[in-house]
Amino acid sequence: MAITPVNAQGAIQVIYTKTGGPVIYGHLAWATTSSDDYGSPDIYMSAGNTYYHTWPTWVGPGYVQGVIWTDRYGRLETPYVKVT
């Protein structure tokens, strides 16, 4: 997850590298402790590839997490990252 800059118009980027297993269908997303997920379009993801999506947004202080939604495993999430 990449977040730049804080307290200004910036971007949040979620990056996922699939290292093994079957092809999955789903999307990348991010969330705060007080918001729903902000998701990318659904895509097929296969082993050996890296996927990312960038959302232009106002980046304020707080906590954010990266999320991947899949047809096989549901919602998988990273721990929250503190943005200051």
What is the domain partition of the chain in residue ranges? 2-83
Query: Whole-model pTM?
Result: 0.89
- Interatomic CA distance for residues 74 and 54, integer angstroms: 21
* CA nearest neighbour of 77 among 32, 22, 21: 32
Cβ–Cβ < 8 Å for 69, 25? no
- Interatomic CA distance for residues 55 and 3, integer angstroms: 10
- What superfamily does domain 2-83 belong to in CATH? Immunoglobulins (2.60.40.10)
pLDDT tens by residue, 5-32: 888 899 999 999 999 999 999 999 999 9
pLDDT of residue 11: 93
- Interatomic CA distance for residues 68 and 18, integer angstroms: 11
